[in-house]
Amino acid sequence: MVSLQTNYMGLKLRNPIIIGSSSLTSTVEKVKELEKHNAGAVVLKSLFEEQIRFEIHQSMHQTNLSDSYYPEAHDYISNYSRNHHIDNYLKVISDCKKAVSIPVIASINCVTADEWTAFAKRIEDAGADALELNIFILPADPNISGEENEKMYFDILDQVKKELDIPVAMKISYHFSGLAKTALKLSWAGANGMVLFNRFYSPDINVDNMKVIPAHVFSTPDEISVSLRWVAMLSDHLHCDIAASTGIHDGKSVVKQLLAGAKAVQIASTLYINGLGRIDEMLKYLEEWMVKHGYESTDEFIGKLSLKKTENPAAWERVQFMKHFAGIE
């Protein structure tokens, strides 16, 4: 009997499949259903900084407090709006911990190290097993240097780590001029986990009505190539665990990411497309693959084909077109 257990950020998972932050993990009922389908852990739907600010703005607008002569009333409504939304999120954490036995990871989608960081302690107090910081600061302002943008990642991590004893994961993108060095420095700075990578809603243009529209909401299996490359290249260097994300749609892709060095994978799109039963299908493939290759535990093969351990490390690093087609006439 093979063991699918893995250890991610010190959390013991019954298997490496984590359900990524999405509407799939937004309620206690949905999380319970995911546990029934043998998910190893869940990352709750993210709470956004923008959501908190929007609630405050709405409360001010609806009550005309922006023009109030009573600043204490303005503060009261603003604080109530902030706390009311936060309390809902904390309740989901608390109720999930009572309802399921798998690890429950909270998630904050953030771009600053400001007011929300103090809230991190309340997440821990509510019972979350870990916190995932979903960060992407688009380097679009020509007046802000890459160093300034990257510094914000470290400021956020530093502020949150001061508040918490539970593990903290950084979910980042690959939009760094020095991705490997930045990821390494984040692991030095105290990140317990690194989720590679964020996937963003991209814009498209409808040429008929000339409007900007969202494109490709769900990932495709082809998108695994980017995360697979970087998991393999970074897994032997970072001082933290890696969870692979984006483009993982079946059991074979789970095996690939584990071989590259990921301790766990995060999935979402494939469940929207194929249903929750996909989790069981992926685990069945993983178990059958392990039996076929003589592995009794995931530890025996995690990282077996990482950059340092593969017989062909150049395959992970070299990306030029002609390398791929060398020898083809």
Report the C-alpha gap between 311 and 232 in whole angstroms. 13
Report the C-alpha gap between 9 and 214 in whole angstroms. 34
pLDDT, tens only, 248-289:
999 999 999 999 999 999 999 999 999 999 999 999 999 999
pLDDT, tens only, 135-192:
988 787 888 888 888 999 999 999 999 999 999 999 999 988 899 999 999 999 999 9
Residue 84 pLDDT greater than 70, yes or no: no
Residue 36 pLDDT greater than 90, yes or no: yes
Report the C-alpha gap between 237 and 41 in whole angstroms. 25
Domain residues of the chain, as ranges? 6-324
Q: Is the dihedral of CA 39, 98, 196, 295 positive or negative?
A: negative
pTM: 0.89
Which CATH architecture group holds 6-324?
A: Alpha-Beta Barrel (3.20)
Which pLDDT belongs to residue 74?
A: 56
Which pLDDT belongs to residue 268?
A: 97
- 126 three-class SS: helix
Average pLDDT over residues 298-326: 80
pLDDT, tens only, 192-221:
999 999 987 778 999 999 999 888 789 999
Q: How many CA atoms lie within 13 A of 211 on its CB side?
A: 3
